[in-house]
Structure 1
Amino acid sequence: MQLQITSLNSGSNGNCYYIGNEREAVLVDAGISCRETEKRMMRLGLSMRKVKAIFISHEHSDHIRGVAMIAKKYSIPVYITPDTQHYGRLSHEPITAISFTAYEPVQVGNLTITAFPKWHDASDPHSFMVSYEGINIGVFTDIGEPCEHVIKHFGQCHAAFLEANYDDGLLDSGRYPYYLKQRIRSKHGHLSNEQALNLFTEHKPAYMSHVLLSHLSKDNNNPGMLKQLFDLNANGTEIVIASRYQETPIYTITNSFKPIKHFKGEQLQLL
């Protein structure tokens, strides 16, 4: 059994994540246009007809920009809370909106999607875990700080989309006004590289095979520096930078990942 995952886009210009098995798939957020979503999936050999649901994390435009057109064109139901639908101005769009509740699993074919609360400056923000045959994929972005909900679910994931939005030094020296820097750093803002790394090193399960570092700031982060930082602490987990300009490759996730343990400076592959 396996799941395929890819980031179709990740950043303040749009966020959209694909998770699916051999029969069905879901999108978490739809923050790029329908046309761009189609183009990127086509380049990866993925079919929009396989997408059976869209789950919306919160109402900010970089997470909902393409949802109405995609949902209408392909008759895809949109799982969204009433507050998110209202404040995202989607209440009058011709979409099939289905409300979800935190910790009440939603079944989409053989996929199970569980939402849970998170800290962010939105009306009713949620993160998601997508599960299939014992494989768990988490989407942890737009988070001010790792609350107990995030920590609990991250520790159960075989792969995760994990926000690493900004480097503290780059944010300090950058052009953003003071109030915006404070908003980004607040518990309703975004995860820093340091916060993401601490979550990763302290709570990563041994079987986590992939982490896609997501929602990087264009102005306040450095992808190369970030990847090097995580690679030094990866302990066998593949580190991927999710781009704000293009899709990532497709990654196949199974529940048979064999972790690498370190013994006195050497690596031993567990069999």
Structure 2
Amino acid sequence: MPVYIASLNSGSNGNCYYVGNEHEAVLVDVGISCREIEKRMLRLGLSIQKVKAIFISHEHTDHIRGLPVLAKKYQLPVYVTDGTVHHCGEVPRELCFSLRSYESVKIGELEVMPFPKHHDAVEPHSFMITNGETRIGVFTDIGVPCEHLIRHFAQCHAAFLEANYDEQMLANGRYPYFLKKRISGGKGHLSNKQALDMFIEHKPAYMSHVLLAHLSKDNNDPELALQMFTPHAGSTHVSVASRFFESEVFVIDPQPLAPGESHTLNQVTGQFQFALS
């Protein structure tokens, strides 16, 4: 069964990632408003009625801003760590379920595995989402590529992978010293180079898509990030998840395709089809 993925927004102004199959879906983080999520999913031809759960990576505002309204409006269960839930605003406690490292959660045919990451938050987690044989990683807000991240990235058919900043742009930019150290100091964010090194060294041969995520508005440039990754992409489709609008919907299917062929969503008809890249 194919898996459909999309970034609804990615950046310090809000993060929200969609992973689903034909019957159910989950959102990882809800850092934009309920209204924006509804509008963007509608434009993509995705049904919000298929969303069966929300998973929260950590408590920073750009990951939880829209959570209370969305969870209450659709009565969605929220999976969040015990240490994080107290920072998530007015989410009814009966909708909150405890999230623990390496304890998987089944949402229909989807299985969501949380694992710890390095970030300056209470109990930050990344996620591996599995549907049958298809594995999707959501890897953002990561200080360093630790063994947990590397092991899971090396198993993914597709991933949202943080490439937050260009090292030279950060060093020469206007941010104060303490903020530069926070970003690059091991519990902040992954640089383009760190993400690229992991991509080159640990990308499995069958990885079909990588969406570069959480790019900094001031310390990165989408074209620069793509220029770094493109020579090393091989058969992997690399794109940038925007901080301003939703991505297209990508269809992740481990079944082999003809050379140069990929799955995309026809945004006029809402139907998935084959396309030549």
Residue number in structure 1 paired with 2:116: 117
State the secondary structure of the residue aligned to 1:136. Answer: strand
**Alignment gaps of 5+ in structure 2:** 260-277
**Residues 90-148 of structure 1, C-alpha deviations (whole Å, 9 max, x = no match):** 3x532500001111111001100000000000000000010001100000000000000
Task: Determine if the alignment matches structure 1 residue 94 to structure 2 residue 89.
Answer: no
State the secondary structure of the residue aligned to 2:119. Answer: coil
Please give the TM-score of this superposition, normalised by the length of structure 1: 0.93
Alignment of 1:133-148 (within 5 A): 133-148=132-147
Alignment: residue pair count = 258
**Residues 179-226 of structure 1, C-alpha deviations (whole Å, 9 max, x = no match):** 100110011000000000001000000000000000000000010011
Q: Please give the alpha-carbon distance, in whole angstroms, between the structure 2 residues aligned to 1:206 and 1:165.
A: 24
Q: Please give the alpha-carbon distance, in whole angstroms, between the structure 2 residues aligned to 1:124 and 1:245.
A: 28
State the secondary structure of the residue aligned to 1:124. Answer: coil
Q: Please give the alpha-carbon distance, in whole angstroms, between the structure 1 residues aligned to 2:169 and 2:6.
A: 28
Q: Relative to 1, partners in 2 of residues 1:51 and 1:151: Cα closer, same or farther, differing over 3 Å?
A: same
Shift, 1:166, TM fit: 0.1
Residue number in structure 2 paired with 1:13: 13
Residues 26 and 53, structure 1, Cα contact 8 Å, conserved in 2: yes
Shift, 1:255, TM fit: 1.2
Q: Relative to 1, partners in 2 of residues 1:184 and 1:257: Cα closer, same or farther, differing over 3 Å?
A: farther
Q: Relative to 1, partners in 2 of residues 1:97 and 1:50: Cα closer, same or farther, differing over 3 Å?
A: same
**Alignment gaps of 5+ in structure 1:** 261-271
Amino acid of the structure 2 residue aligned with 1:148: E
Residues 236 and 259, structure 1, Cα contact 8 Å, conserved in 2: no
Residues 83 and 123, structure 2, Cα contact 8 Å, conserved in 1: yes
Residues 64 and 88, structure 2, Cα contact 8 Å, conserved in 1: no
Amino acid of the structure 2 residue aligned with 1:82: D
Residues 165 and 214, structure 1, Cα contact 8 Å, conserved in 2: yes
Please identify runs of 4+ aligned residues in structure 1 that moved more than 3 A.
257-260
Shift, 1:89, TM fit: 4.2
Residue number in structure 1 paired with 2:156: 157
**Residues 151-186 of structure 1, C-alpha deviations (whole Å, 9 max, x = no match):** 000000000000000001100111100010011001
State the secondary structure of the residue aligned to 1:230. Answer: helix
Matched residues, percent identical? 61
Q: Please give the alpha-carbon distance, in whole angstroms, between the structure 2 residues aligned to 1:70 and 1:251.
A: 24
Q: Please give the alpha-carbon distance, in whole angstroms, between the structure 1 residues aligned to 2:137 and 2:254.
A: 14
After superposition, the CA RMSD in angstroms is: 1.2
